Amino acid sequence: MSKQASSRENAVVRVEPGALRATVERIFEAAGVPQEDARVGADVLVKADLMGVESHGVSNMLERYVERYKSGVMNPRPQWRITRETPGTATVDADRGLGIMVVPKAMEIAIAKAKQVGTGMVTVGNCRHLGMAVYHAMLALEHDMIGVCMSSVRPTVLPSLGSRVRLGTNPIAVAAPAGEEPPFVFDAATSVVPDNKIDIIRRLGGDIFPGWIGDERGTPVMEPGPAPPRDGYQLLPLGGIPQTGAHKGYGLACVVDILCGGLSGSGYGAVRSADTVAHFVGAYNIEAFLDAAQFKGMMDEWLRALKATPPAPGHERVLVAGQMEWEAEQDRRANGIPLHRDVIGWFRDTCAGMGIPFTLAPPP
């Protein structure tokens, strides 16, 4: 282990998920969020940490959320409402509420409609960040439904052949239940890499990989090198360069913009205000199409076949979507969620500043 890695390892403390969830809930409440919303928001953040998706967990998101409640960009007590509705669809105005709390309600609406008419599709406009998109898709699983969630976020991604960002990292998330196997849980930005991948390399060192970013003029950077400054690059769409299908990632990001920004009436990432985010959730009731038991049996057979694929040279095994996150969750439920001491320190200071109890294990 390198000296740097060893020092990073020592800086990490494992905390109990329930204690972390309770602390996050109290912080949300102190920021003005009603108790039930605070509970849901804490669950979304801690679930990301349980699944090893730190980019969308407490350490990366909570401080920003608290700041935005303070600045007034986000409304802690949104009067969200349905502006249009049919038996299978709804359009929600989130009243500048945080997506991690409003989107689970949108998904509940979608699930209820899917029970009635087979599928439910709900758009959420005038909203803020939704956290880990697949959290919302996964809410469908316990109802024997397939869940979908997409989010149209502020532009950081180049269109294929372009020199200016026009699309967000616009993630697509899909969760589908299996029988005995863990569920299929897919969640991917439609850019080659997410924004924070470049930030992490800038902070911790290492090289960016050819085909991740374009330079200030939009020319793809095809040599490895250090991470450029924040204003010195633009993300490339999935596919990377025109020869390897950049138009496909670009088109998929557009589809997300259309379903989220377009169908919610919030407008597209490239034309609306930077703070506004729009979302789309959908639920497919499996029993509406075929027997759920038959579907889940097929899922088991298929997921096992994929995992049994002989790996290519240099790789140990073939994974399925959600498998690494599922394995991380088993570990973290048993052994706690690893947080950097600095994050523990932020929690301690924030709790003190807000006058609320701090119950996370302090760094020894």
Among 262, 276, 279, 281, binds a second copy (CB under 8 A): 262
**Segment 121 to 180, residues that bind a second copy, using CB under 8 A:** 121, 123, 146, 158-164, 166, 172, 174, 176
Is residue 352 close enough to count as binding a second copy by CB under 8 A?
Answer: no
Euclidean distance between CA atoms 94 and 136, whole angstroms: 16
DSSP E strands, 6-87: 12-15, 81-86
Residue in 110, 96, 30, 90 with CA at minimum distance from that of residue 66: 30
Shorter beta-carbon distance to a second copy: residue 288 or 354: 288
Distance CA 59, CA 77 (A): 23
337 vs 47: CA distance, rounded Å: 10
**In whole angstroms, what is the distance from residue 26 CA to residue 38 CA?**
7
Instruction: Please identify which residue in 64, 84, 230, 333 interacts with a second copy, judged by CB under 8 A.
Output: 84
Q: Which of 289, 335, 352, 362 binds a second copy (CB under 8 A)?
A: 289
Q: Within 269-288, which residues bind a second copy (CB under 8 A)?
A: 270-271, 284-286, 288
Which residues between 11 and 70 bind a second copy (CB under 8 A)?
Answer: none
Binding-site member from 229, 312, 334, 355 for a second copy (CB under 8 A): 312
Check binding of 243 to a second copy (CB under 8 A): yes
- Binds a second copy by CB under 8 A, chosen from 1, 72, 223, 310: 310
Question: Should residue 326 be labelled a site residue for a second copy when binding is judged by CB under 8 A?
Answer: no
Per the CB < 8 A criterion, the answer to whether 131 and 60 are in contact is no
**Distance (Å, rounded) from C-alpha 13 to C-alpha 16?**
10
183 interacts with a second copy by CB under 8 A: no
**Which CA distances in Å does 176 have to 24, 51, 183, 257?**
29, 17, 6, 23
Please report, to the nearest 10 degrees, the dihedral formed by the alpha carbons of residues 123, 128, 129, 130 taken in order.
-40
Residue 290 near a second copy by CB under 8 A: yes
Can you read off the two tokens belonging to residue 302? 């298929």
Size of the site for a second copy (CB under 8 A): 91
Q: Which of 240, 278, 279, 332 binds a second copy (CB under 8 A)?
A: 240
247 binds a second copy (CB under 8 A): yes
Kindly state whether residue 82 participates in binding a second copy, applying the rule CB under 8 A. no
